[in-house]
């Protein structure tokens, strides 16, 4: 019995030892496994860090290479070849036009070289452009020449583009920018409401030239052809059968514009255009024409302007007597003298359209652009007259006749001023 117990104890001791050894081995194996896994994760993280570093390095190299290529492209290729433009030759402007005589220059650009230089210098702040990395800008003088050539001729935009070796879009932009600059800078200097001193000078010159005292100008309207607009087409369809806008202008005795109203639809009556203009508000509200009153045959007469039968009779706006076939000798004399004086505005329109042919041809532009072109041409007209630039009769600068006058019924309006002028003209015979 004792021997059996001893064997059992021995077996228990052996089993306990084996179990402890097995547990120790398992713990050792688990520790080794955990160590291997830790080392594998560390190695994996290291490989990932190296992979990311290599990827970033390759990306930076690509960026540096791209920057080097772009720098080389901009500094060498872009400056040596016209990549962004169709190759053209500008020989006509750079060589032929520069050798023009003064007559040839004015034939194409309608202004003298001195006036051209003045325009470029004056408009430089508004028209100056900077070269870019993509292309060189069109020189200032060339852009002014493009605009003047387009305004002075009936040439299409595409033809002007080919002549100056630029795109059609560039011609449009040159014309629009030039018109905006002229209206912004030159128009306030050359077309402005006269003050009392200027009105006095105008009246003196008018009397000296036409023998009509106190007259400071003549008013008339002219139709400017346009494309049929997309809206309100009937409003722009004039009595002559085509679409137009109206240019209403007042000129002094020298034929220079001092008041403009541009853009009213061609169907409007001249009297309606006048009443919608700034001139009507200025004359009726400010009463500027009563600054200097002169007694003529017993009647106090202030300043006035002359208009045709389409305009309403006012103390500051005189019109002819309606020809009913029963006019008195004095009325006929009055009509003849005032009609001769009113020719100054008709001749001004003739010279305007003779010099700037774009006003005589339908302009395929937006109405607002045509309005800017008309104001620009009127401003340039004054500039040319001021600088006494040559005008060639062959340009077509005769008297502009209106095919249809629109009589204006004004009711009972005092005509003391017309009666006084009648008596004066009779006395002067």
Distances (CA, A) of 72 to 15, 82, 133, 135: 85, 16, 12, 16
Which pLDDT tens digits describe the chain residue by residue (429 residues)?
A: 677 878 878 888 888 888 888 888 888 888 888 888 889 988 889 889 988 988 898 888 888 888 888 877 766 655 544 444 555 667 889 888 999 999 999 999 999 999 999 999 999 999 987 655 456 788 999 999 999 999 999 889 999 999 999 999 999 999 999 999 999 999 999 999 999 999 999 999 999 999 999 999 999 999 999 998 888 888 999 998 999 999 999 999 999 999 999 999 999 999 999 999 999 999 988 888 888 889 888 888 999 999 999 999 998 999 999 988 888 998 999 999 999 999 999 999 999 999 999 999 888 888 999 999 999 999 999 999 999 999 988 887 555 655 445 555 443 334 688 888 888 888 887
Reduced to 3 DSSP states, what percent helix, strand and coil does the chain have, rounded to the nearest 5? 60, 10, 30
> How confident is the model over 137-162, as pLDDT tens digits?
889 999 999 999 999 998 899 999 99
pLDDT of residue 245: 95
User: Which residue do the tokens 């290291």 mark?
Assistant: 46
User: Which residue do the tokens 């970033």 mark?
Assistant: 56
* Exposure class string for 355-373: b at 16+ Cβ within 10 A, else e: bbbbbeebbebebebbbbb
pLDDT of residue 25: 86
Q: What is d(CA 372, CA 176) in angstroms, rounded to the nearest whole number?
A: 8
Taking a C-beta distance cutoff of 8 angstroms, is the pair 256, 384 a contact?
A: no
pLDDT of residue 411: 39
Please name every residue paired with 392 in a beta bridge, in sequence order, or none if there are none: none
pLDDT of residue 397: 58
CA angle centred on 81, ends 77 and 86, rounded to 5°: 135
Q: What is d(CA 374, CA 81) in angstroms, rounded to the nearest whole number?
A: 39
First vs last C-alpha separation in the chain: 178
In the chain, where are the structural domains located?
91-189, 192-363+395-428
Q: What is d(CA 327, CA 329) in angstroms, rounded to the nearest whole number?
A: 7
Neighbours of 97 (CB within 10 A): 19
pLDDT of residue 248: 97
- Which of 320, 392, 334 has the alpha carbon at shortest distance from 210? 334
pLDDT of residue 117: 96
Q: What is d(CA 325, CA 426) in angstroms, rounded to the nearest whole number?
A: 20
pLDDT of residue 217: 95
Q: Count how many Cα atoms sit within 13 Å of the Cα of residue 79 in the half-sphere of its side chain.
A: 8
Please name every residue paired with 260 in a beta bridge, in sequence order, or none if there are none: 249
Beta strand 215-225 with 299-301 is unpaired
pLDDT of residue 211: 92
* Exposure class string for 66-92: b at 16+ Cβ within 10 A, else e: eeeeeeeeeeeebeeeeeeeeeeeeee
Please name every residue paired with 243 in a beta bridge, in sequence order, or none if there are none: 237
| Percent of the chain with pLDDT strictly greater than 90 | 56
């Amino acid at each position: 019995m004792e021997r059996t117990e001893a064997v059992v104890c021995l077996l228990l001791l052996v089993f306990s030892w084996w179990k402890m050894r097995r547990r120790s081995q398992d713990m050792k194996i688990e520790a080794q496994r955990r160590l291997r896994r830790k080392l594998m994760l560390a190695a994996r993280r290291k490989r990932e860090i190296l992979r990311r570093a290599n990827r970033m390095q390759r990306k930076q190299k690509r960026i540096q290479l791209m920057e080097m290529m772009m720098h080389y492209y901009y500094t060498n290729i872009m400056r040596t070849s016209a990549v962004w433009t169709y190759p053209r030759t500008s020989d006509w402007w750079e060589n032929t036009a520069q050798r023009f005589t003064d007559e040839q220059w004015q034939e194409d650009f309608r202004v003298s070289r001195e006036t051209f230089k003045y325009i470029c210098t004056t408009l430089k702040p508004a028209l100056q452009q900077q070269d870019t990395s993509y292309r060189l800008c069109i020189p200032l003088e060339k852009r002014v020449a493009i605009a003047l050539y387009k305004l002075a001729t009936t040439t299409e935009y595409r033809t002007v583009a080919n002549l100056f070796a630029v795109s059609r879009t560039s011609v449009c932009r040159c014309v629009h920018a030039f018109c905006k600059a002229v209206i912004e800078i030159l128009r306030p200097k050359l077309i402005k409401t006269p003050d009392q001193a200027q009105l006095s000078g105008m009246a003196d010159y008018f009397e000296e030239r036409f023998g009509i005292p106190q007259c400071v100008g003549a008013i008339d309207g002219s139709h400017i052809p346009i494309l049929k607009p997309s809206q309100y087409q009937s409003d722009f369809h004039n009595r002559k059968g085509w679409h137009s806008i109206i240019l209403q202008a007042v000129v002094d005795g020298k034929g220079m514009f001092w008041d403009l109203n541009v853009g009213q639809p061609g169907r409007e009556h001249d009297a309606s255009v006048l009443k919608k203009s700034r001139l009507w508000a200025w004359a009726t509200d400010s009463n500027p024409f009563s600054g200097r009153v002169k007694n003529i045959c017993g009647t106090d007469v202030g300043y006035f302007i002359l208009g045709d039968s389409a305009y309403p009779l006012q103390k500051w706006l005189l019109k002819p007597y309606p020809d009913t076939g029963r006019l008195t000798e004095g009325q006929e004399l009055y009509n003849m003298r005032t009609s001769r004086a009113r020719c100054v505005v008709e001749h001004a329109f003739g010279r305007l359209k003779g010099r700037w042919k774009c006003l005589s041809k339908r302009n395929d532009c937006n109405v607002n652009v045509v309005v800017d072109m008309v104001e620009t041409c009127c401003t340039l007209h004054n500039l040319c007259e001021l600088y006494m630039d040559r005008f060639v009769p062959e340009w077509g600068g005769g008297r502009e006749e209106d095919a249809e006058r629109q009589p204006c019924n004004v009711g009972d309006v005092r005509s003391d001023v017309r009666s006084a002028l009648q008596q004066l003209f009779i006395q002067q015979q």
